[in-house]
Amino acid sequence: MSKHKLLLIFTLLIGTFFTSFTMLKSGLIYDFGLGFWGPNGHDAIWHLGLITQILESFPPLHPVFSGALLSNYHWGCNLFTAVISYLLPFSLLDIYFRILPITFALFLGIFTYILGFKLSKNRSTALFFVFLNYFSGSFGWIISLIRYGQISGESTFWSMQPISTQLNPPFAFSLIILFYGLIYYINSQKQKKLKNYFILGLIFSSLAGIKIYAGLLVGISISMIFLIKYFQKQKDSKYLLSTIFTQLTFSLLILIFLRSLNSGSLLEFKPFWFTHSLIESYDKLFLPQIASLRANLAQNPFSYKLPVLIGIELSLFLLFILGNLGLRVLSIFSIKKIKSQNNIEIHQFILIIILLGIIIPTFFVQKGTAWNTIQFFYYSLFLINYYFAVYLSSQKTIIALFLLLLTLPTSYSTLKDYFGYPPPSAIYNSELSALKFLKSQPSGNVLTYPYNKYEKDKFKKTPLPIYAYETTSYVAAFSSKPVYLEDEMNLNITGLDWQTRRINSEKFFSSTDQNFSRGFLINNNILYIYLLTDQNLPLSTSQLQIDLIYDQDGVLIYKVQR
């Protein structure tokens, strides 16, 4: 076996192991119960809740907003996971936290290599590309080293880096589809058959149901490539048909998976929100004096100090880009030579995606949760790694290895948190038993106690019990039943009026009005009430007409009489 093949296999193996390690330890049973590291204590539980609802009914009910169908969310990856769970003889936890992360990480590396080689015809470039799509990082570690004397700061400049890819399974899955689509795009240029264009359109449009951010980037980019062809008088009728087919399929999938956008639009115009919050947020770069100066100047933007304000805004934008890209900024030297490379059209396509991934979060934020728009930027980071790989392969080996070494610190800082013990959050054994019992009961909506963000202050050590750790969908996920109100964070993202339900829920748990309380249970089709022993009902079981069906280890479950 050649030295190059050995290096490739080694890179794929270590890349697969380390990027999937952020998931591997979560969802396992420990002495205390089910442990979760990092954002798995919230995000993974949300996805598990969606998957269980897909397995229960199709189209799926909303797991944390009982009585409603799931809308305003791309659940294609969850559908894929549900199908895999149905077909394979493994637990959903093992599939979600172990089988899929390893599979996704491996295929991402393989497709990265194939794409890199097809674009460059250079094996070193393709190998560098693989390494970068596993381990490249931002300049956040420099800031943390200067300020705190330690290496950390993966998202100091906002964007997640490749080491955390598997923490977001829909994103990881969408990258695989995107890279496969780009490979197919290159292959279709050799034989410009109409069939190939339609298959290409189907591949790319499927991204709308997997990750809407990728779908929008690719959908816009395809249209822009067609316009470039048109104005260059390259009137390719097959490409036009492919473009139309892609957009129609894209729109259809949006209707299927998102159903409606209750907020009217996914995005709202808020220019430089990320660059402003970058220096205003304590957990980011945080430069309060500059933030204060900028805010004061912005109150009177048309004064003689306008050039100063413009200078600050431009500087912050460049800082945002430079900080997130890290050494990938050297890609500019490769991009400048793009006209001399093969596959010009595919390079145009990739560069448009990169630019859109930067431009969209610069000027727009997502309604409900503004910071979610940074996910457009993730795709730019992965694709620009190719041009950085081209640059590295043009350098002497010692220089290239030194530059690679400087991209690693943020990956190291992220990984060390996942090698630690105990985990930050857990579902304790007492609740696991209760949720298993609830899952065995007939179908019905569940009412839980409203989340109290101050509850975590009572605990002095980790793991925190999941109910106190964050607003999550853990009851829905592990009982396989829709909950009246849970995981307010994701409800905010999907644009549902959860605030009214929160008010009504709080009223139920504080009101002594028997008519209101009984009416609340009946009108909302509540069949079960899930409580911990320190979460009290203001009325008796006879007044509410409920039966206690479970009382063990500090967990109470009531069934509403009909």
**Residue 472's CATH number:** 3.40.50
| For residue 24, pLDDT beyond 90 | yes
| For residue 60, pLDDT beyond 70 | yes
Tens digit of each residue's pLDDT (9 = 90 or more) over 327-386: 999 999 999 887 656 678 889 999 999 999 999 999 999 877 888 899 999 999 999 999
- The set of residues, in sequence order, having a beta carbon less than 8 Å from that of 73 and lying 6+ positions away, is 50, 257, 258, 490, 493, 494
Domain edge (last residue) among 398, 418, 438: 418
Rounded CA separation 334/341 (Å): 10
- For residue 431, tell me if it sits in a domain: yes
- For residue 483, tell me if it sits in a domain: yes
Judge if 462 and 401 occupy the same domain: no
Taking residue 9's Cβ as centre, other Cβ atoms within 10 Å add up to: 11
- For residue 64, tell me if it sits in a domain: no
| Side-chain half-sphere CA neighbours of 465 within 13 A | 20
- For residue 61, tell me if it sits in a domain: no
Domain edge (last residue) among 400, 418, 436: 418
| For residue 551, pLDDT beyond 50 | yes
Judge if 188 and 264 occupy the same domain: yes
Tens digit of each residue's pLDDT (9 = 90 or more) over 117-150: 999 999 999 999 999 999 999 999 999 999 999 9
Q: Per-residue confidence at 303, pLDDT binned at 50, 70, 90?
A: confident
Q: Is 33 left (phi over 0), alpha (psi -120 to 50) or beta?
A: left
Which pair of structure tokens corresponds to residue 228? 């470039």
74 close to 253: Cβ distance less than 8 angstroms: no
Give the H or E element holding residue 548.
strand 546-552
The separation between CA 88 and the C-alpha centre of its own chain, rounded to angstroms, equals: 25
Tens digit of each residue's pLDDT (9 = 90 or more) over 170-228: 999 999 999 999 999 898 877 767 777 778 888 888 888 899 899 889 988 888 887 77
Domain edge (last residue) among 418, 440, 472: 418
Judge if 268 and 401 occupy the same domain: yes
- For residue 229, tell me if it sits in a domain: yes
- For residue 59, tell me if it sits in a domain: no
* Residue 61 DSSP symbol: B
The separation between CA 227 and the C-alpha centre of its own chain, rounded to angstroms, equals: 31
Rounded CA separation 351/531 (Å): 52
Judge if 264 and 239 occupy the same domain: yes
Judge if 86 and 196 occupy the same domain: yes
Percent of the chain at pLDDT above 70? 93
DSSP SS3 for 428? strand
Average pLDDT in the chain:
90
Strand pairing category for 364-366 and 464-465: unpaired
- The pTM assigned to this predicted structure is 0.93
- For residue 67, tell me if it sits in a domain: no
* Residue 473 DSSP symbol: -
Structure confidence at residue 155 (pLDDT):
92
Rounded CA separation 402/175 (Å): 28
The residue range of the domain holding 497 is 426-560
Judge if 388 and 450 occupy the same domain: no
78 close to 61: Cβ distance less than 8 angstroms: no
- For residue 50, tell me if it sits in a domain: no
Strand pairing category for 445-448 and 526-532: parallel
Taking residue 512's Cβ as centre, other Cβ atoms within 10 Å add up to: 9
Q: Per-residue confidence at 244, pLDDT binned at 50, 70, 90?
A: low
- The set of residues, in sequence order, having a beta carbon less than 8 Å from that of 279 and lying 6+ positions away, is 285, 286, 287, 288, 290, 291, 294, 316
Rounded CA separation 215/424 (Å): 34
Helices and strands (DSSP H and E) totals, the chain: 27, 10
Rounded CA separation 464/262 (Å): 35
Judge if 371 and 485 occupy the same domain: no
| Exposed e or buried b per residue across 344-359, where buried means at least 16 C-beta atoms within 10 angstroms of its C-beta | ebbbbbbbbbbebbbe
| Side-chain half-sphere CA neighbours of 467 within 13 A | 21
Give the chain's domain count: 2
Which pair of structure tokens corresponds to residue 73? 């969310």
Contacts within 8 Å (CB) and 24+ apart, 493-499: 493/72, 493/73, 493/366, 493/368, 493/369, 493/372, 494/71, 494/72, 494/73, 494/262, 494/368, 495/72, 495/261, 495/262, 495/263, 495/367, 495/368, 496/62, 496/65, 496/68, 496/72, 496/262, 498/65
Judge if 347 and 435 occupy the same domain: no
Please state the φ and ψ torsions of residue 473, each to the nearest 5 degrees.
Answer: -110, 40
DSSP SS3 for 400? helix
Judge if 348 and 436 occupy the same domain: no
Tens digit of each residue's pLDDT (9 = 90 or more) over 425-473: 999 999 999 999 999 999 999 999 999 999 988 898 999 999 999 999 9
Judge if 410 and 434 occupy the same domain: no
State the residue for tokens 């799509």: 133
Q: Return the closest-CA partner of residue 219 out of 230, 209, 229.
A: 209
Query: What strand order describes the sheet that includes 526-532?
Result: 445-448, 526-532, 555-560, 546-552
Judge if 512 and 535 occupy the same domain: yes
483 close to 445: Cβ distance less than 8 angstroms: yes
Rounded CA separation 60/232 (Å): 46
Judge if 404 and 452 occupy the same domain: no
Structure confidence at residue 276 (pLDDT):
96
- The set of residues, in sequence order, having a beta carbon less than 8 Å from that of 395 and lying 6+ positions away, is 403
